[in-house]
Amino acid sequence: MFNASYHYAHLIRRSLLCATLITMPVFLVACGSGGGSDSGDTPSVVTPPDTHPGRPALPDPGTEPPENREPDIPESDDSEAAATETRSFYFSYDESGSTASRDLTFAELAAGKKPNRSLGRPYEYLNAETFNHFDLVIEPPFNVSMGLYKAEADEIPVGRNLDGALYAMGVNLSGPTLSPSERRNVALTLLVDISGSMSLPYANNASGEIYSRLDVVKNGLYLLLKQLKEGDELSLVTFENQAQVVVDRWIYQAGDMAFFSAIAGLKTNGTTNLGTGIQEAYRTANTLYNPDKANRVIILTDANANTGEINPTIIAEHTRLNDAEGIHFSGIGIGQGFNDRFLNELTDIGKGTYSALITPYDAERIFSDNFMRFLSPAVKNVKFQLTYPSELTQFYSAAEDISTDPDEVSSVNFSYNSEQFFLELFEGDYFLDPELAITLSVTYTDANNDDQKISFSKTLAELLAA
């Protein structure tokens, strides 16, 4: 018989070990978001320079909450009431289609290299995994499975000694699905880096017709064009030191090869001025904008900015301002040596999907299997809250952002045809009241721009059985 607990534990270990091995010696450092404090026997959480600066850490629930923040646990002299007290935190796991750090790690390992520790972003490894739903709860627009696994201490690397039992909380969340025939038409602006660095080999072992980073881009765009349908409208902007509109408002028609020809004619030249490229892309996208279509800017670059404005926060202002008007932003890093840190920060600020196109084989995954993830998000401004009994102590999260203050957690968008797996680790007594419950709440903005909230609650008995 299929052992679900073993299956999920195996997948969790596989994803976490990939992130752990490149961020040793302290596993919690890789997260930059798991719970911890400088007091007691709880290890402090350190955010290294090559991860997001200022990312909030979740305070240890047993410590005094920061000033001006309501305590998670109300004080009470009633011991019976104390048994039902709960704690909660808010979190987000990045845009559901983002998997770049995992893709880069596998490429580095395949090349016999040690991946950079900045690639230890567990939420992107979990985004890349595929899980089957179990004990499914359907609450449109989401399908949710929640389970609790009582693990042995050596099954999951946690970087600390435990006084009690280790409980791994897994949540599998999938969003709305959309077929090619059902999807809205797109108004898509492609921003392609043609600077000199794009002439470099896409990998150390690159060979054959597809050799350079620009060759990989061309191959990917050919596959993307095969996903189009009547009514889709595209523009193509290239950039090096300057930006240029190569194709302006081309409407897809079967047999029209104009866009294919434009892609085939791209050549590398000059330095990399990302700021100029993004400004021109959004100027073009605004002229292409159609409220009845899915409006999107996709940048394909190695992100090795060396000319003009190279501050990603300033550059990303263009993505944030325009995202408010419905023009969403996605980034695709090109080649084995692309600037992951820069592009990750850029797409985080723009709340966009972030993927890696390292080899020609990745093009099929990105532009065929996952093309829907680059269209308008299914739901926007998504934020999660987990409420759990005080008998459990949360000490690690694989989330990107986590805090007891909802305002300190960035909201994300959730793509069509995507899923996320959340991992939260707790310590608790070996025997807990089976009627205690854990609740996952989701707030989001729906397609009508209305704010919504839904919740999923399970008892510990139900969670452990799943």
Rounded-to-integer distance, Cα 10 and Cα 23, Å: 20
pLDDT confidence of residue 17: 53
Evaluated on CA atoms 204, 210, 214, 219, the torsion sign reads negative
Lowest average pLDDT, out of 8-12, 125-129, 412-416, goes to 8-12
pLDDT confidence of residue 454: 96
pLDDT band of residue 422 (cuts 50, 70, 90) is: very high
pLDDT confidence of residue 75: 41
232/181: higher pLDDT: 232
pLDDT confidence of residue 289: 92
Lowest average pLDDT, out of 53-62, 236-245, 402-411, 431-440, goes to 53-62
Q: What angle do CA 388, 391, 393 make, to 5 degrees?
A: 70
Across the range 18-43, mean pLDDT stands at 36
pLDDT confidence of residue 52: 34
pLDDT band of residue 49 (cuts 50, 70, 90) is: very low
pLDDT confidence of residue 323: 67
pLDDT band of residue 13 (cuts 50, 70, 90) is: low
Instruction: List the beta bridge partners of residue 87.
Output: 388
pLDDT confidence of residue 21: 45
How high does pLDDT run on average in the chain?
80
Rounded-to-integer distance, Cα 219 and Cα 361, Å: 10
Rounded-to-integer distance, Cα 389 and Cα 460, Å: 10
Torsion of CA 395, 398, 400, 403, to 10 degrees: -20
Asked if pLDDT for residue 57 goes beyond 50, the answer is no
Rounded-to-integer distance, Cα 133 and Cα 173, Å: 8
pLDDT band of residue 313 (cuts 50, 70, 90) is: confident
Asked if pLDDT for residue 364 goes beyond 60, the answer is yes
Within 57-203, where are the H helices?
A: 79-82, 100-110, 122-128
Residue with tokens 């510990």, as numbered in its chain: 460
pLDDT band of residue 153 (cuts 50, 70, 90) is: low
pLDDT band of residue 386 (cuts 50, 70, 90) is: very high
Asked if pLDDT for residue 187 goes beyond 60, the answer is yes
pLDDT band of residue 393 (cuts 50, 70, 90) is: very high
The answer to whether 296 and 328 have CB atoms below 8 angstroms apart is: yes
Lowest average pLDDT, out of 66-75, 247-256, 315-324, goes to 66-75
Rounded-to-integer distance, Cα 462 and Cα 134, Å: 12
pLDDT confidence of residue 30: 32
Lowest average pLDDT, out of 78-82, 352-356, 429-433, goes to 78-82
pLDDT confidence of residue 35: 34
DSSP states of 165-199: EEEEEEEEEE-----TTTSPPEEEEEEEE-SGGGG
pLDDT band of residue 12 (cuts 50, 70, 90) is: low
